[in-house]
Amino acid sequence: AQGLRPGMTLFFEGDDATTIDGKMVIHGTGSEDYFNGGWYALLDRWDRKMSLPLHGSLDYSLPFSRTGGYRLFLSDKMPFEKSILHTIEHGPEKNNMPADYTSVAFYYADKGIDIGQVPSNQNTKIFLPDTLMLYPQLMSFSFNGEVKVSGEKFTAKDGAQLRVDLQEIPSGKYKLYGDIDTSPDGAEITFWQRQTKVSKPYSFYSAKKEFKGQDFLCDLTINQFRNTVTLHFKSNSDKNTINFRRLILVKVK
């Protein structure tokens, strides 16, 4: 299942329905439950590929807005004589989240089952979005110095550094934006890749808490040697906090 709108994988919320021989027999609450993948995008839940005896995740990526799942019907098999139709809605309701679903089904039968669509280079092509989004709950961080993490809030001591892993991001040049909150204790930071500073000083300070959506942060180059970005805090015991809800990378064409 590939989301066609960058961001959270909310297309996974759509209801599922199964019709056997013309009669609806199951109306479920969505693919996140159908594949037992509820509470996705949380640590140690549906957050990466995993294999279990009867169901599992084929993949999960927030930056790519992509996932996949499998389910085996053994003790709860659904026999049919003439037809079986299984559909999954895209999005919380009314297919309101654009997505590209591809499915493969295997049947026990006494003869071959008609296929609905022949695989081709066009309909099996992997979609690569130009905009990728990173959310703090599934980011990988490294620290130099003392950094206190509280949800989306990061508080540094004595000019510490916070490195964000970008190994999942394809190589290329990107514009980095952020959905951030500024505050009276907001820090001043600079962005670095390896030993190269790639930004001007950026301030998270404001007299009162304010939200800034998709604010430009810096330009990045991603390759096998530069697949991280490090935030250097300016040492200031009173202004030492940053708060970001997500990071947005837009590929430069």
DSSP secondary structure of 212-249: EEEEEEEEEEESSS--EEEEEEP--SSS-EEEEEEEEE
Residues in CB range of 189: below 8 A, 6 or more apart: 201, 202, 204, 231, 232, 233, 234, 242
pLDDT bin (cut points 50, 70, 90) of residue 38 is low
* Distance from chain centroid for Cα 40: 9
| Domains of the chain as residue ranges with CATH | 2-100 (2.60.120.1390), 131-251 (2.60.120.260)
Instruction: Tell me how long the chain is.
Output: 253
pLDDT bin (cut points 50, 70, 90) of residue 100 is confident
- Per-residue model confidence (pLDDT) at position 111: 79
Asked if 88 contacts 30 with a C-beta cutoff of 8 angstroms, the reply is yes
Output the six-digit token pair for 51. Answer: 């294999």
The rounded distance, in Å, linking the Cα atoms of 166 and 228 is 5
pLDDT bin (cut points 50, 70, 90) of residue 115 is low
Residue with token string 């390896």: 194
Among 90, 87, 93, smallest CA distance to 105 is for: 87
pLDDT bin (cut points 50, 70, 90) of residue 21 is very high
Q: Which residues of 117-150 are buried (b: 16+ CB within 10 A; e: fewer)?
A: eeeeeeeeeeeebebbbbbbebbeeeeeeebeee
pLDDT of 113 higher than 80: no
Look at residue 71 and give its three-state secondary structure: strand
Output the six-digit token pair for 25. Answer: 């027999």
* Distance from chain centroid for Cα 99: 14
The rounded distance, in Å, linking the Cα atoms of 174 and 209 is 28
Q: What percent of the chain has pLDDT over 90?
A: 57
The rounded distance, in Å, linking the Cα atoms of 239 and 234 is 9
Residue range 210-237: mean pLDDT, rounded: 97
Output the six-digit token pair for 1. Answer: 């299942």
Output the six-digit token pair for 11. Answer: 């297309």
